Amino acid sequence: QVQLQQSGPGLVKPSQTLSLTCAVSGVSISSDNSYWSWIRQPAGKGLEWIGRIHTRGFTQYNPSLQSRVTISRDTSRNRFFLSLTSVTAADTAIYYCAGIDASGFPFNHWGQGTQVIVSS
Amino acid sequence: DIVLTQSPDSLAVSLGERATINCKSSQNILSRPNNKSPVGWYQQKPGQPPRLLIYWASTRESGVPDRFSASESGTDFTLTISSLQAEDAAVYFCQQYSGLPLTFGQGTRVEIK
């Protein structure tokens, strides 16, 4: 059974960097033809895809956030990470990590979500 | 970007009645190899991550009750709950995975009347 466990601070100061971790169990993030994504959801609003990392290690980002986002991974610990720089109040949201079983499918594995508030 | 527009924004349906949610894509995203569109539907309850219900526009995910069905016609996608149950009260999102950036509809809230 695939499980995603998120961790990271829930409060980040403006202009600083938001950093989150997603630990994956039940499948290797470096095997098969799959993607591991970060998605966010401001309170009471819709879902915004942030970006993803492929099992081969290449990344793809939403152009709206590309200049501030880095998604990376640690295959030895089967984890992937989100880094979002220069945050503002507009980055306050619930952040989710998510995965798919194979390329060409939507998200069928989700982390529990992390509420991140940007405030001084 | 591929824009998905859902309608209505919210609806209230009596228990046992049908609920229908629409999602319109700004582009035709039909995949020629399988003649289906890469569209998923999710259900989200308060305090929970989204749950995948449907993929490839009309295929039900394993474990999803068969009262949930979906269809497509051109750039229009529909999710139907045939007989609404109390546990179906939630927000429903469509999502396209045809092109980057991946995008979602704005969501439709389904309430019990």
* Contact check, Cβ <8 Å, B102/A112: no
In angstroms, the CA A23 to CA A87 distance is 23
User: Quick one: average pLDDT of A55-80?
Assistant: 97
Q: What's the confidence (pLDDT) of residue A33?
A: 87
Contacts of A39 (CB under 8 A, 6+ apart): A47, A48, A49, A50, A95, A96, A97, A98, A107
Antiparallel, parallel or unpaired: β B68-73 and B59-60? unpaired
* Contact check, Cβ <8 Å, B55/A106: yes
Quote the tokens at residue B36.
């289906």
Q: What's the confidence (pLDDT) of residue B13?
A: 98
Residue in chain B closest to A110 (alpha carbons) equals: B49
Closest residue to B49, CB basis, from A63, A64, A96: A96
Residue B47 region by backbone torsions, left for phi larger than 0, else alpha for psi between -120 and 50, else beta: left
Q: What's the confidence (pLDDT) of residue A101?
A: 83
User: Which amino acid, residue A98?
Assistant: A
Chain B interface, best mutation among A47, A50, A64, by max B CB count within 10 A: A47
User: Quick one: average pLDDT of A76-87?
Assistant: 98
Quote the tokens at residue A100.
């798919």
Quote the tokens at residue A16.
């600083």
What pLDDT, in 10s, does the model give residues B71-112? 999 999 999 999 999 999 999 999 999 999 999 999 999 999
Rounded to a whole number of angstroms, the distance from the CA of B59 to the nearest CA of chain A is 11
Contact between residue B61 and residue B50 where contact means Cβ atoms under 8 Å apart: no
The pLDDT of residue A104 is above 90: no
Three-state secondary-structure class, residue A69: strand
Residues in A touching B51 (Cβ below 8 Å): 110
- Which of A:56-115 have CB within 8 Å of B? 60, 62-64, 96, 98, 104-108, 110-113
In angstroms, the CA B44 to CA A115 distance is 16
Look up tokens 């490839």; give the residue.
Answer: B56
In angstroms, the CA B59 to CA B61 distance is 6
Q: How far is CA B100 from the centre of its chain?
A: 19
